[in-house]
Amino acid sequence: MIPVLVIARMVIKEIFRKKDFYVALILIAVILFYASSLQFYNTEKVVRYLEEIGLLLIFIFSVILTATLAARQYPSEIQNRTAYVLLAKPISRLQFILGKFLGSLLAGWSAFSIFYVFFLAIVHVKGGGLVSPLLATQVFYLFLLCLMIVSAMASAFSYVLTVSANVTLTITLYLLINTYGAVLKKASQHLIWLSRSLGEALYYLMPHFEFFDLRQRFIHEWAPLSFGLMGFLTLYALIYTGLFIFLSWIFLRKRAI
């Protein structure tokens, strides 16, 4: 376990040494301050507009940062020839995979946490109030689970794809599934038999990132999710994360290092 934590700590330091995180934070701040300055007929409309833009921004930027960091871990180790040194030590390939994944995940979580606290502060100042603390916590927790799947997926792809291809594929899959995942099953029912079966199989096999997106519930102040459903989503995220880590282990096992 110690080698995993040591590798993870090195990865976490990387995101704060690079400028990506700070550039994202500045962009979010500028856009949120601009959105909060817009004038509408009532304060409630301003707050909802601010919440919609703010959550969308911090979700997308957090996914980009997490996917980018996870995608470049293994290729950078190969390019710098440090992977040979690490794996020559008493570190197994599974420990290497877990360390890289955990570091990318914790770094992504840290960035998202800062974005989210900053967002809630602006919404609170602009709106003079705050949504249900339980709902705000659920939005935060479920997106942490979403980033866990994203990090595991990008980590798995990093052992078979280049960094640019990996980042492009991971972010594209996230955006497409998060936007159209809910309608895929319904759309597949209008296709011929073979395509319909493939469409339904794809629907059940792909990770549904939209399950972890509570933006509409947050914006319209709907009731929080039940604890049973939260437990199911937690298990769902753990299963897909485990699956991608297993794929990472298979991919790295086939690589000659």
Higher pLDDT, 151 or 90: 151
Mean pLDDT for the chain?
Answer: 83
Q: Residue 106 pLDDT > 60, yes or no? A: yes
| pLDDT attached to residue 181 | 76
Q: How confident is the model at residue 87 (pLDDT cuts 50, 70, 90)?
A: low
Give the residue-averaged pLDDT of 88-117.
Answer: 87
pLDDT tens-digit map of 149-165 = 999 999 999 999 999 99
**Minimal CA–CA distance to 62: which of 116, 118, 139?**
116
| pLDDT attached to residue 85 | 62
Q: Residue 53 pLDDT > 70, yes or no? A: yes
Q: How confident is the model at residue 88 (pLDDT cuts 50, 70, 90)?
A: low
**Full DSSP string of 93-111:** HHHHHHHHHHHHHHHHHHH
Q: Residue 203 pLDDT > 90, yes or no? A: no
Give the residue-averaged pLDDT of 13-40.
Answer: 72
Higher pLDDT, 13 or 64: 64
Question: How far apart, in whole angstroms, are the C-alpha atoms of residue 156 and residue 85?
Answer: 21
Q: How confident is the model at residue 142 (pLDDT cuts 50, 70, 90)?
A: very high
CA distances from 242 to 40, 98, 232 (A): 46, 11, 15
Q: Percent of the chain beyond pLDDT 70?
A: 79
| pLDDT attached to residue 89 | 64
| pLDDT attached to residue 233 | 97
pLDDT tens-digit map of 210-249 = 999 999 898 888 889 999 999 999 999 999 999 999 999 9
132 token code pair: 């249900």
| pLDDT attached to residue 166 | 96
Q: Residue 253 pLDDT > 80, yes or no? A: yes
**Minimal CA–CA distance to 225: which of 235, 209, 212?**
212
Q: Residue 133 pLDDT > 80, yes or no? A: yes
Q: Percent of the chain beyond pLDDT 90?
A: 43
CB 155 within 8 A of CB 73: yes
